[in-house]
Amino acid sequence: MRYDFALLFTVLTALTGLIWLLDTIFFAPARRKAMAEEQSAIDEATEAAAMRIRAALAKERVPDVEVGCNEAGIGIGVANKEDVERMLTLLKREMPELDVQPEGDGLQANLRDAGARTRVPLVVDYARSFFPVILVILLLRSFVAEPYRIPSESMMPNLLIGDFILVNKYAYGLRLPVLDTKIVKVGEPQRGDVIVFHPPIAPDQVWIKRVIGLPGDTISYNNYQLTVNGQPVPSEKIGPYVGQGSGADMTGATVVREDLPGRSHTILQKDLPEMAQDPRANGTWTVPSGEYFMMGDNRDNSEDSRFWDHHTLPEANIVGKAELVWLNIDFGAKKMDGSRIGTIIR
């Protein structure tokens, strides 16, 4: 099940912001006035209680006593520590409406019932606390960067199962969250870019592949030979691949350096005989305007443009450009690979 976090954060931002706004306009002014009146009444009652305390202590002839109002209530300072217990007993007997407790070298007294207090409603308190946080998260995820996790082997050897990647959301333009409408055009995908997108065959999912064909290109792939606009893409076998964790089943595949025009990167291929290859993997495709031809780096284990009904990716389906690996946790193999952290995606 895929959660639409953009929709979730948009709804939460709108809801908390609306609650805060309505409270600020319609309810907060009256509440502040009521709270000010209540505080004034409490201050008057506290001052009156302090005067009664002074009178009670004077009647009992307790020497060297200072009584004054403070933020916590009424502070009572005593010069002679031996008088503290006597004063405590006296005030509890004569003024039961006060809560009197020892504090430091003296006593602290507070009104037990200061009257009903007007408070900020809990829902409003939560809304104004969470709104700025949710808004910042929404803006960062929508316009700056967003994390994704690699769930499959399709981009090996460059991206491994369990890689958590950071996706640049502004590399190809700014889009409104949820609506995915481009509002600012920044750049266009280049051949060799690794991008995150919603595949036409499963638009509710998020996949990652490499841009092989640009609008107007003719792409051919036949028996592991990639051709772009009639020009074979040079490649060189480097050696056997040694898989790890959940990708160990790819051990023995051949690591190949592929030199796309202007971009060199590595791929994996099993060097299967042509008769053993999936016939859909071989063919020739022309890329329409505004669309891109995508391929995974693991050429024998990637459900990419070669296998789609429409074969190309509309520009509107692009989420952003994959930039780096910020964490790797292979849940299948129950291991974490710290050496992957900070890996630049090329």
Q: Select which of 209, 246, 302, 321 is catalytic.
A: 209
Contact assessment for residue 160 and residue 328, using Cβ atoms and an 8 Å cutoff: yes
- Site of tokens 């638009």: 203
Residue 154 annotated to the active site: yes
Catalytically annotated residue among 154, 235, 302, 305:
154
* Distance of alpha carbon 338 from alpha carbon 322, whole angstroms: 19
In the chain, the N- to C-terminal Cα span, in Å, equals 30
| Residue 270: active-site member | no
**Which long-range contacts does 302-307 make (Cβ < 8 Å, 24+ apart)?**
302/154, 302/155, 302/209, 303/154, 304/154, 304/209, 305/209, 305/212, 305/213, 306/221, 306/280, 306/281, 306/282, 307/278, 307/280, 307/281
* Amino acid type, 16: T
φ, ψ of residue 284 to 5 degrees: the values are: -130, 135
CB burial of 275-294 (b: ≥16 within 10 Å; e: otherwise) equals: eebeeebeeebebeeebbbb
Q: Please give the positions annotated as active site.
A: 154, 209
